[in-house]
Structure 1
Amino acid sequence: MYARLRGSGPVARSGGYGGFWALTRHADVAAAAADPVTFISSVRAVVPSDPRGLRRPPLNYDAPAHTPYRRALDRTLQRARIARLEPRLREHAARELTPLVERGGGDVAQEFGARFPAWVTTEWLNLDPELAPELAGTAARWVRAWRALDREVVDETSERMYGIARDLVRDRRERPRPVAEDPASSLLAERPDGRPLAEEHIVGALRQCLVVGLVAPPILLGSICVHLSRHRELQSELRARPELLPAALEELLRLYAPYRGFARTVSKEIELHGRRIAPGEPVTLVYASANRDEAVFPDPDTFVMGRPNIAAHLAFGRGRHACAGMPLARLSMRIALEELLRRTSAIEVSGPVESARMPELGAVSVPLRLRPA
C-alpha cells in the first residue's frame, strides 16, 4: 500500500481516527521532520492520540518550550554514560532470556521483549529495581488499552505510571543525583529564563519516558526474530561474525521501524503535491514508508548488509523531535540480539504472529522455538 501511495498519492488522506494526512515519500517526510516551524508538534504528535488528549513534554511541545526538557534528557544519554550501563544491561538480558532458553521457546515479544526493556528504563532512570517487573506489566496493559482506545484501562495504568513519576521527583528533590547520571535530577536542575520547570511538566516528561522505552522494543525485537526465522543464513552469519551485528541492526531498523510514524499539524496552510493541508489537520510522517522508498534505498524490501546510505533511514525520526533515546535503544537491542544468538543454534517461529495496530507497525506477539547452542 505504501509503495502504491509513494508512486501515485504521496500525500494521502484517510478518514480513520478522525481524519489525517499521510506523507509517504522519504524526501517529504525528512523535510517535514526537519521543519518544526511549519510542521508543529504541540497540537497532534501521534495518530491515534491518547484518548484523554493530554500533552506531555517534550514530544508534544514546540521550541522554545520543548528545549529545556530535551536538553535535560540528552544530558543523561551521552556516550560515556551509555557505556557504563552496558554491563548491567547485559546481566539483565541474560537473566530475562534464560526462562525462554530453558523451556526451548516462548513469546519473544511478550516475554523477553517486554521484560528486558523495563530493566533498561529502570537503569536509565535509576528506579528502584523492584519496580521493573511491575513497570513491564503496567506498560504492556497501557499500550494494549491505548491501541483499543479503552479509556478506563488507559486511565488506570497511566495513573500508576504517573505515581511512579511523582515518587521519583519527590525522591530526587530530597536526594538529588548528578545531572549527567539521572534524568529526574537533570530536569529539576533546568532553569529556563532563570526559573525551574513546573513540577507537573517534569512529572509528565518522566511519565512519557516510562512508556516510550517500553512500546517500541518488543515490536522491533519480534519483527527481527520473524526475519531471522525466515532467513537462516543470516542467523548463521551473525552467530559466526557478531561484529556484523551493528550494521545488521541498522538495516533491520530500516526494514522494521516499529512506528508507522509520528504526527504534526501545519502552522499555516500549505500545498504539497497538489494537496492543500490546513492548520489543525493531523499530518503523519510515515517513517515506515520513507524507509522503503525505492528512490532512496534500491531494492527496498530486501535486507542488504552494509548499505552505503543506511544512515538515511528514519527509524528514529529526524530533526528536533528525533528519538532522544536512540543511543540507548541501539545498545539495548544489540545486547538483546547478541544474547539471543549466542545462546541458541536456531530461532524458529512456532505459531501465529500477531501484528500491531496503529500507530505501531510490526509483530507484537511472536512465539519462537529456540534450539540451545
Structure 2
Amino acid sequence: MATVQAPSPGQGPVPVPVPEDWDINTSALVTSNEPEKIYREYDYLRSHCPVAHVDKHDGYWVLTRYNDVKEVASNNDKFISYLCAIVPADPRGIRRPPLKFDGENHKPYRTAIDRTLKPARLKRLEPIIRAHCERELQTLLDRGHGDIYEEFGSNWTSWIEKEWLNLDEEDSALLVESFSPFVYAWRTGDWATVKKWSDAWYGIAHRVVAARKANPLDPEIDPASSLLLERDKDGNPLDEEHIIGCIRQIVIIAMVAPTIVLTAITKHLSEDKELQNRLRNDRSLLPAAIEEFIRLHVPYRGFARTAVKEEEISGTKVPPDEPITVVYSAANRDPEQFPEPEKFVLHRENISSHLGFGRGIHRCAGTAMARMILRVYLETLLDRCSDWDVSGEIVYARLPEVGPTSCPFAFKAAA
C-alpha cells in the first residue's frame, strides 16, 4: 500500500492508504458503493489531487476540498446546472426545473416552491407527518425487526409527499407503492422498471396539474397551484410541461435523500449507544445532533455544475465542456474545515458551514422541512425504542448518492 499524508488539524498528519497502482478510473469512488472506501479515497484525492478527472460517464471532474466545492456550488455566474446537474446524467437529456434551470429561468420555480414551505405551513404539517411516522414505524416495531429504508422510510416519505403536494387517495397509494420498487430497480440496473415507475410519477404530476388548473388551491399550501400562479421573466405563465417536470423532480428528490439520511442516522446510533442514550434523555440536544448527522451523512456525491468558460480550480484548468461534481460528502469531511471529520462532534463551532443542503441558488428548497422530518423521526424512534441493532446485510446507493439504501434492524421496544 502507498501512504499519503493528509492534514488533520489538531491531530497531525493522518495516513491515507491507497494501492500502489491506484487509478481513479478503477477506484472505489468510481466502481464501489461502499461509503468507507469512498471516503478514504476522497481523503487521498483531497491531499494528492483535489481536482481529479474521471473518464467514466463521458468524462467528469471530482472536487474533494471544501472551499472548491463551496465556490463551484455557489457561483452560478461561472458554474451552471443547465448542461448537467447530476452525474451520471439522464441519457434522455431531460431538463426538469428548478435543478436544471439557471438564473432568471430558475427563479420563478424556486419562488413557487419556497412559497409552500414557509414556517406556518410546516407547523400545520408537522402533526400530520408525525402521525404518518408513528403508524409506519409501529409496523416494524410490532414484529421487532424491519428495513428502515425499504419498509419504513420509503413509505413515510411518500406520505409526506402526499401531504405536501395534496395528492388524492389514488395517487397517494401509487406513490407509496412505487418508491421501493423504483429504488430497487435503480440499484440493480433494471431500467425497464425504472422507466415504468418514472412514467407513473409523470402521470401523477400530469393529473395534479390538470386538477389545479380546474380547481386551484391556495398557492401558500399547494406547489402545483403556486407554480401555475408564477410568471417567467417576460411576464408569461410558466410552460405547463416544465411545471409537470418540476413536480416530477420534487417527487424523487424529496423521497430519496431524506430516506438515505434517516437510515444512515439509525445505523449510526445503533453503533453509538452512548449518543443514542444521551439523545433519548435530553431532547434539547436533537437540533445540534441533526446538523452533525447531516454533515456526516449527506447523501450526495454526484450533483454537478459545468463551467461557462475554462476555469482554474486549485491549480487545475477545467474546460467548459465537462461536468464538475460538487461532492458534498467529501467537502463535509474536509479536515481543513472540520477537524476530526470522521468523528461525531456535538456542538461543532462551525457546524452551520456544512454543505449538507448544498449552496447557492440550487441549495435544497426543503431544508426546513428536512430538519423537521429528521427531528420527528428521531423523537418517535427514541420514544418507542430502548435500543436497536443492525440485523442483516446493508446495501449502499449508486451514483449520484452515497449511503444506505437497505438496512435491516432488530428493535427493542421501550418499556
TM-score range, shorter-chain basis? over 0.9
Match of 1:135 among 175, 193, 212: 175
Give the corresponding residue for 1:262. 303
User: What are the equivalent positions in structure 2 for 1:288-299 lying under 5 Å apart?
Assistant: 288-299=329-340
C-alpha separation in 2, matches of 1:291 and 1:132: 35
Displacement after TM superposition at 1:171 (Å)? 0.5
| Alpha-carbon distance, 1:177 to partner | 0.8
Would you say 1:249 and 2:283 are equivalent positions?
no
Distance 1:123 1:12 in 2: 42
Aligned residue in 1 for 2:98: 58
Aligned residue for 2:59?
19
Q: Contact 2:81–2:305 (CA<8 Å) still a contact in 1?
A: yes
State the alpha-carbon separation in 2 of the partners of residues 151 and 247 from structure 1. Answer: 40
**Does residue 1:108 correspond to 2:148, yes or no?**
yes
Q: Distance in 2 between matches of 1:130 and 1:103?
A: 28
Secondary structure of the structure 2 residue equivalent to 1:27: helix
Partner of 2:32: none
3-state SS in 2 of match to 1:109: helix
Deviations 1:36-68 (A, max 9, x none): 011100000000122322110000011111110
Indicate whether 1:161 and 2:201 are aligned. yes
Higher relative contact order (CA 8 A, sep 6+): 1
The alpha carbon displacement at 1:202 in A equals 0.5
Compute the displacement of 1:148 (Å).
5.0
Q: In 1, are the aligned partners of 2:68 and 2:314 still within 8 Å (CA)?
A: no
Report the equivalent of 1:37.
77
How many angstroms apart in 2 are the aligned matches of 1:186 and 1:204? 14
Aligned residues between the structures: 373
CA separation of 1:141/1:53 partners in 2, compared to 1, >3 Å: closer, same or farther? farther
- One-letter identity of the residue aligned with 2:251: L
Residue 359 of structure 1 corresponds to: 400
Asked whether the equivalents of residues 287 and 317 of structure 1 are also in contact (C-alpha less than 8 Å), the reply is yes
Aligned to 1:287: 328
Alignment of 1:1-373 (within 5 A): 1-147=41-187, 150-192=190-232, 193-373=234-414
1:177-224 per-position Cα deviation (integer Å, ceiling 9, x unaligned): 111111000000012222101111100001111111111122111111
Which amino acid in structure 1 is aligned with residue 174 of structure 2? Answer: E
Aligned amino acid, residue 48 of structure 1: P
Deviates more, 1:266-275 or 1:79-88: 266-275
Contact 1:56 1:204 in 2 (8 A): yes
Q: Secondary structure at the match of 1:296?
A: coil
Structure 1 stretch displaced more, 135-144 or 33-42: 135-144
Q: What is the identity percentage for the equivalent residue pairs of Structure 1 and Structure 2? A: 49
2-structure distance, mates of 1:157, 1:122: 16
- Whether contact under 8 Å (1:32, 1:39) holds in the other structure is yes
Q: Distance in 2 between matches of 1:287 and 1:78?
A: 25
In angstroms, what is the RMSD of aligned CA positions?
1.3
* Contact 1:147–1:358 (8 Å) recurs in 2: no
Contact 2:389–2:411 at 8 Å: present in 1 too? yes
On the 8 A contact 2:53/2:62 being kept in 1, the answer is yes
Determine the C-alpha separation between the residues in 2 that align with 1:346 and 1:130.
36
Amino acid at match of 1:40: I
Partner in structure 1 of residue 26 of structure 2: none
CA contact (8 A) 1:50 1:146 kept: no
Give 1:18 deviation, angstroms: 2.0
Letter of the structure 2 residue corresponding to residue 316 of structure 1: F
Alpha-carbon distance, 1:147 to partner: 4.8
- In the superposition, relative to structure 1, how do residues 154 and 351 fare at CA in structure 2: closer, same or farther (>3 Å)? closer
Residue 17 of structure 1, CA deviation: 1.9
Distance 1:300 1:122, change over 3 A: same
User: In the aligned structure 2, how far is the partner of 1:52 from the partner of 1:142?
Assistant: 18
- Indicate the SS of the match to 2:89: coil
Displacement after TM superposition at 1:278 (Å): 1.1
Give the match's secondary structure for 1:301. coil
Cα-to-partner distance string for 1:5-47 (whole Å, 9 max, x where unaligned):
1111110111222221011100011111110011100000000
| Structure 1 unmatched ranges of 5 or more | none
Go from structure 1 to structure 2 and tell me whether the alpha carbon gap of 1:62 and 1:6 turns closer, same or farther (over 3 Å shift).
same
How far apart, in 2, do the equivalents of 1:37 and 1:256 lie?
29
Q: Which amino acid aligns with 1:361?
A: V
CA-to-partner distance for each residue in 1:126-182, whole Å, 9 max, x for gaps? 111443342133233334444555442232111110110010001001110111111
Structure 2 spans left out of the alignment, 5+ residues: 1-40
C-alpha separation between the residues in 2 aligned to 1:150 and 1:37? 38
